[in-house]
Amino acid sequence: MEDLTQEEWVSQLENDANAVILDVRTDAEVADGIIKNAIHIDIYKGQGFIDEIEALDKTKNYYVYCRSGNRSGQACSVMNQLGFENAYNLLGGILEWEGDLVDKD
């Protein structure tokens, strides 16, 4: 896992053809908006979270965020334990996000 500032996260994401954005917030938090093209998997789903994460492609690079950066850091650690090599945590989370948000599909 690597913690990235918003600038590093966005810069790396924009230049990564193998990138997947992962939002690990709750449904209520996601209702306020989500980063465009993000996949939403609530970390509070417990085993359901693990099951959904394990179904993801481990060859991709995951850019993970939550509200403040704490849960996304935990999610990155879980992903590393499950064999994901590239999980990047957004420091400060959505609270410090300066980019646009869209409604969840």
- The answer to whether the beta carbons of residues 10 and 38 sit under 8 Å apart is no
d(CA 97, CA 105): 20
Rg of the chain over Cα atoms, rounded to whole angstroms, equals 12
pLDDT of residue 73: 97
The stretches in the chain having pLDDT less than 50 are: none
d(CA 95, CA 99): 11
What global pTM score does this model have? 0.95
pLDDT of residue 69: 94
What residue ranges do the domains of the chain occupy?
A: 2-96
CA-nearest of 33, 12, 20, 36 to 95 is 33
Alpha-carbon 80 to chain mean position: 13
pLDDT of residue 1: 81
pLDDT of residue 104: 79
Looking at the annotation, which residues are catalytic?
A: 66
In words, the CATH class of domain 2-96 is: alpha beta
